[in-house]
Amino acid sequence: MKPVIALVGRPNVGKSTLFNRLTKSRDAIVADFAGLTRDRHYGDGKQGGREFIVIDTGGFEPEKPTGIVAMMARQTQAAVAEADAVIFVVDARTGVAGQDHDIARYLRGANKRVVLAVNKAEGLTESPLLAEFHELGIGEPHPVSAAHGQGVRSLVEAALADFPEDEEDGESEPDADAPIRLAVAGRPNVGKSTLINTWLGEERLVAFDQPGTTRDAISVPFERGGRKFELIDTAGLRRKGKVFEAIEKFSVVKTLQAIADANVVLLLLDATQGVSDQDAHIAGYILEAGRAVVIAVNKWDAVDGYQREMFERSVEQRLAFLRYAPVLHISALKRQGLGPLWKAIAEAHASAIAKMPTPVLTRLLHEAVQHQAPKRAGMFRPKLRYAHQGGMNPPIVVVHGNALEHVTDAYKRYLEGRFREHFKLVGTPLRIEMKSSRNPFDDDKNG
């Protein structure tokens, strides 16, 4: 599981700037769940081969001078609870403030790894001004400049020092007998818990708690039709004696981690409520993670013909970027449509790990070019020579040739459609990568 870093501190110390630096984006809010997360923003960070999730808690102003703990309970406490490590951001220019002491006192009792980042410290690396931050009792101050990127790398290394780098999953050659890791994702009250309970009850299997990480991420192994699955829970599934109690509990971090760890994600929507911003955010994250996805519309039996038509239009408009995902209509409560749902999950997984031989890909590429050549770009016409598979889960097709930087996105979508059709890929993204030869004389020949 990806480790989680929470950024904590009073307002205007540069937490958002640091967040954007770590996620390498100006608008890296992959999951800003309105109404649920308050001011907590979530993004993906990567340093070297190590990936992690970053939470930006936003600033907080105490309602009363002593009310900081009450205020933190709304957003910062939640973020700290979800995190593996905390970066406490303070401001080198303003020095230690009273609020910093309040926050430090809370963090010292939080039983988390805490790293102190003294931001806006350009040119102050050896400055005696840094010494006063020792009084916070958090440990060695790390001078950084979030705006200029100075000291950020060593700060992240310090925050993640206790967490080993992920080993390769070997997903390029997946084990055919390995369980399919299935995550059920969706906002609260769409019926995730009902569906999970229905599955486990229907199959009458003894499920068990598999120890997870510090956030008790739970995976439930079970079998269906001779196929092994591993359900990565995002619904707050808990065991009470030998019986599971499913509580509709929403944790953004748990959802993001479950999606990242899954082979297939089941995105559950509520037919009675339409496609919300939260649904679109979760769907966007599934796409970014490159995961195979099946969309299940729950409570389909509870809506009339007009509502169904409006809902389908809403899916087409708001989730257009998941056009490759099958959409199935179910009722978890009444156990309707669950057979076809399992079939779609199996097909999506098979597509995600499909093997695409180089000779077949190259033949398909040449046929596609014969049918419709890429547009010229000035002097050059892109020359597509051969293609091979560059990865699985999601499948990646690497196309080699000349002047391929001029291939348009529209042409890549055209190629994607040809590959999808031949290999019958459903429910999985397919990524097309272009690799050009750098010989300028070859480029001239393409003119």
User: For 26-57, how does the pLDDT look when each residue is reduced to its tens digit (9 = 90+)?
Assistant: 443 334 333 333 446 777 888 877 888 888 87
Tell whether the model's pLDDT for residue 347 goes beyond 90: yes
Could you read off the pLDDT of 380-405 as tens digits, one per residue? 788 998 999 998 889 999 999 888 88
Q: Does domain 358-445 have CATH number 3.30.300.20?
A: yes
Percent of the chain with pLDDT over 70: 78
Domain with CATH 3.40.50.300 in the chain: 4-159, 180-352
Distances (CA, A) of 100 to 91, 109, 118, 126, 405: 10, 14, 12, 22, 50
Classify domain 4-159 at the CATH topology level: Rossmann fold (3.40.50)
Rounded-to-integer distance, Cα 257 and Cα 251, Å: 10
Least Cα distance to 21 among 132, 123, 119, 138 occurs for: 119
Residue 216: name the closest of 387, 352, 81, 347 by CA.
81
> Is residue 310's pLDDT more than 70?
yes
How big is the chain, counted in residues?
A: 447
Residue 159: is its pLDDT beyond 60? yes
Report domain 180-352's class: alpha beta
pLDDT at 139 over 80: yes
pLDDT value at residue 207 = 36
- Measured from the Cβ of residue 10, the count of other Cβ atoms closer than 10 Å reads 21
pLDDT (tens digit, 9 = 90+) per residue, 205-252? 333 333 333 344 466 777 887 888 888 766 544 444 433 333 334 467
pLDDT surpassing 50 at residue 203: no
pTM, 2 dp: 0.69
> What phi and psi values does residue 82 have, to the nearest 5 degrees?
-80, -20
- Residue ranges of the chain that CATH labels 3.30.300.20: 358-445
